[in-house]
Structure 1
Amino acid sequence: MAAPTIVPNAGASTAPGAATAHVDTFARDRLPPAGTWPVFQFNDDTRYPARLNAAVELVDRHVSEGNGQRVAVRHERDGSIETVTYAQLAALVSRIAHVLVEDMRLVPGNRVLLRGPNNLMMAASWLATVKSGLIAVPTMPLLRAKELRQIIDKAQVSAALCDARLREELDANQRADGEHYCPTLTTVRYFNGTGAGSLEAAMDGKPDTFAPCDTAADDICLIAFTSGTTGQPKGTVHFHRDVLAMCDLFPRHVLKPTPDDVFCGTPPIAFTFGLGGMLCFPLRIGASTALAEKLTPETLLKLIQDHRATVVFTAPTFYRQMSTLAKNFDIGSLKKSVSAGEALPDATRQAWKAATGIEMTDGLGGTEMMHIFVSSAGADVRPGAVGRVVPGYEARIVDDNMQPVPPGTVGKLAVRGPTGCRYLDDPRQEAYVRDGWNLPGDTFMADADGYYFYQARSDDMIISAGYNIAGPEVEGTLMKHEFVAECGVVGAADAERGQVVTAYVVLRPGVEAGETTRTTLQDYCKREIAPYKYPRRIEFVAALPRTETGKLQRFRLRQMANEGGQP
Structure 2
Amino acid sequence: MAQDALAAPAPRPADGPGDLHAALHAGFRWRVPPDFSLAEACCGRWARDTPEATAVIFEDEGGSRASYSYGQLQRAANRLSNALARRGVRTGERVALILPQRFETAVAHIAINQLGAVAVPLSMLFGPDALQYRLQDSGAVLAIAEGSVLPALRGLRDSCPALRELIAVGEGAGAGESAWMDALQSEDARFTSAAAHADAAAVLIYTSGTTGPPKGALIPQRALIGNLSGFVASQNWFGFDPFDASRPSGAVFWSPADWAWTGGLMDALLPTLYFGRPIVAFQGRFSPQRAFELMQRHGVTHSFLFPTALKAMMKAVPEPRRHYRLRLEAVMSAGEAVGDAVFRWCQQALGLTVNEMFGQTEINYVVGNCSRLWPARPGSMGRAYPGHRVAVIDEAGKTCPPGAPGDVAVHRRDVHGDPDPVFFLGYWNRPEATAAKFTGDPADSWCRTGDTAVMDADGYLWYQGRSDDLFKSAGYRIGPSEIENCLVKHPAVANAAVVPKPDAERGALVKAFVVLAPGHQGSDALVEALQALVKGQLAPYEYPKEIEFIEALPMTTTGKVQRAVLRQLEAQRAAGA
Which interval holds the TM-score relative to the shorter structure? 0.7 to 0.9
CA-CA distance at 1:205 after TM superposition? 3.1
Q: CA deviation at 1:192?
A: 2.1
Q: Is the 8 A contact 2:123 2:557 kept in 1?
A: yes
Partner residue of 1:161 out of 135, 144, 150: 144
* Counterpart check, 1:383 vs 2:383: no
CA contact (8 A) 1:407 1:446 kept: yes
What SS class does the counterpart of residue 428 from structure 1 fall into? helix
**2:264 & 2:546 partners in 1: Cα distance?**
36
Determine whether 1:237 maps to 2:218.
yes
Specify the SS of the correspondent of 1:502: strand
Q: Are the structure 2 counterparts of residues 300 and 509 from structure 1 closer, same or farther at C-alpha, using a change threshold of 3 Å?
A: closer
Partner of 1:461: 470
Offset at residue 211 of structure 1 (A): 0.7
TM superposition score normalised by structure 2 = 0.86
CA apart distance, 1:204: 0.4
Structure 2 residue 62 is the aligned partner of structure 1 residue 62: no
- Kindly tell me: are residues 307 and 509 of structure 1, through their superposed partners in 2, closer, same or farther at Cα, counting changes over 3 Å? closer
Aligned counterparts, 1:183-198, within 5 A: 183-193=161-171, 197-198=178-179
| Match status 1:368 vs 2:348 | no
The alpha-carbon deviation at position 334 of structure 1 amounts to 1.3
- Paired residue for 2:448, among 424, 434, 439? 439
Structure 1 residues without counterparts, runs of 5 or longer:
5-40
Alignment of 1:96-175 (within 5 A): 96-102=80-86, 104-174=87-157
Letter of the aligned partner of 1:262 in structure 2? V
Confirm or deny: 8 A CA contact 1:363 1:375 kept in the other structure.
Answer: yes
Distance between the aligned counterparts of 1:509 and 1:170, measured in 2? 37
Task: Point out where structure 2 has 5 or more consecutive residues left out of the alignment.
Answer: 7-24, 240-248, 412-419
Q: Which residue does the alignment assign to 1:264?
A: 254
Q: Give the SS at the match of 1:491.
A: strand
Instruction: Name 1:46's counterpart in structure 2.
Output: 30
Moved more, 163-172 or 185-194: 185-194
**2:96–2:140 contact (8 Å) kept in structure 1:** yes
Does structure 2 conserve the Cα–Cα contact (< 8 Å) formed by 1:301 and 1:329?
no
Deviation of 1:432 after TM superposition, in Å, equals 2.1
2:99 pairs with 1:88: no
2:38/2:113 contact within 8 Å kept: yes
CA distance in 2, matches of 1:54, 1:391: 21
Q: Which residue in the other structure is 2:9 paired with?
A: none
Greater shift, 512-521 or 255-264, is seen at 512-521
CA distance in 2, matches of 1:386, 1:106: 42
The range that moved more, 223-232 or 384-393, is: 223-232
Contact kept, 8 Å, 1:410 with 1:445, in 2: the verdict is yes
Task: Tell me how far 1:335 sits from its aligned partner.
Answer: 1.1
**Residue correspondence of structure 1 range 300-315 to structure 2 within 5 A:** 300-315=291-306
Cα gap change, 1:423/1:97 in structure 2, threshold over 3 Å: closer, same or farther? same
Indicate if the aligned counterparts of 1:98 and 1:206 stay in contact, CA closer than 8 A: yes
Instruction: Give the C-alpha shift of residue 327 in structure 1.
Output: 4.1
SS for the counterpart of 1:437 is strand
Deviation at 1:366, TM superposition (A): 0.9
Aligned-partner Cα distance in 2 for 1:512–1:303: 31
User: Counterpart of 2:547 in 1: which secondary structure?
Assistant: strand
User: Do the aligned partners of 1:364 and 1:375 also contact (CA within 8 Å) in 2?
Assistant: no
Task: Name whichever of 326-335 and 502-511 sits farther off.
Answer: 326-335
AA at the equivalent of 1:450: G
TM-score by length of 1: 0.87
Q: Which amino acid letter does the alignment assign opposite residue 275 of structure 2?
A: I
Quick one: distance in 2 between partners of 1:92 and 1:433? 40
Which of the residues 344, 357, 360 maps onto 2:338? 344
In the alignment, is the contact (CA less than 8 A) between 2:234 and 2:357 conserved in 1?
no
Matched, 1:499 2:508: yes
Q: SS where residue 414 of structure 1 aligns?
A: strand
Amino acid at match of 2:223: D
Supply the AA of the counterpart residue of 2:368. V
- Equivalent residues in 2 for 1:449-488, closer than 5 Å: 449-488=458-497
Q: Distance in 2 between the 1:252 and 1:281 partners? A: 9
Amino acid at match of 1:191: V
Q: CA deviation at 1:194?
A: 6.7
SS of 2:187's equivalent in the other structure is coil
Q: Which amino acid aligns with 1:249?
A: S
1:257 CA drift (Å): 1.0
| Match of residue 548 from structure 2 | 539
Aligned residue among 270, 282, 294 for 1:280 = 270
Farther-moved stretch of structure 1 (400-409 vs 283-292): 400-409
Secondary structure of the structure 2 residue equivalent to 1:105: coil
Aligned equivalents of 2:365 and 2:467: distance in 1?
20
The one-letter code sitting in structure 2 at the alignment partner of 1:165 is: S
Contact 1:145-1:170 within 8 A present in 2 as well = yes
Q: Is the contact made by 1:54 and 1:244 (CA closer than 8 Å) also made in structure 2?
A: no
- 2:290 is aligned, of 291, 294, 299, to 299
In structure 2, do the counterparts of structure 1 residues 134 and 329 end up closer, same or farther at CA, with 3 Å as the change threshold? farther
Q: Which residue of the other structure, out of 417, 422, 432, is the alignment partner of 1:419?
A: 422
Residues 213-259 of structure 1: per-residue CA shift (max 9 Å, x gap): 3322111111100122234111001111112321x211234421144
Tell me, yes or no, if structure 1 residue 407 matches structure 2 residue 416.
no
The Cα offsets for residues 176-231 of structure 1, whole Å up to 9 and x where unpaired, read as 3xxxx211111111112376830210110322221113322111111100122234
Q: d(CA) in 2 for partners of 1:131 and 1:307?
A: 30
Instruction: State the alpha-carbon separation in 1 of the partners of residues 288 and 520 from structure 2.
Output: 22
SS at match of 1:562: helix
CA offset digits 1:356-390 (Å, max 9, x no partner) = 11111111011111344333334521122111100
| CA RMSD of superposed structures (Å) | 2.3
Does the 8 A contact of 1:131 with 1:212 survive in 2? yes
**Structure-2 separation of matches of 1:346 and 1:156:** 44
Q: Aligned partners of 2:511 and 2:109: how far apart in 1? A: 42
**Deviation digits for residues 482-510 of structure 1, max 9, x if unmatched?**
22121000112222112211110112344
Partner of 1:430: 435
Cα deviations by residue, 1:272-319 (Å, 9 ceiling, x for unpaired): 110023311111111110000122221111110111110111211211
Q: Deviations over 1:52-95 (max 9, x none)?
A: 2211111011123x211111111127735422111111111111
**Contact 2:136–2:160 under 8 Å retained in 1:** yes
SS in 1 for 2:283: coil
- Output the CA distance in 2 between the equivalents of 1:515 and 1:331: 41
Distance in 2, matches of 1:327 and 1:559, equals 42
Whole-Å Cα distance in 2 between the matches of residues 437 and 105 of structure 1? Answer: 40
Query: How far apart are residue 260 of structure 1 and its match?
Result: 2.1
The amino acid of 2:283's aligned partner reads: E
CA distance in 1, matches of 2:322, 2:95: 42
Once the two structures are superposed, residues 2-42 of structure 1 have per-residue CA deviations (whole angstroms, 9 ceiling, x without a partner) of xx9xxxxxxxxxxxxxxxxxxxxxxxxxxxxxxxxxxxx99
Give the 3 Å change call, closer, same or farther, for CA 382–123 of structure 1 in structure 2. Answer: same
Deviation for aligned residue 1:167: 1.1
My pick for the range that moved more, 508-517 or 161-170, is: 508-517
Aligned identity (percent) is 30
Match of 2:231 among 245, 251, 270: 251
Displacement of 1:354: 1.7
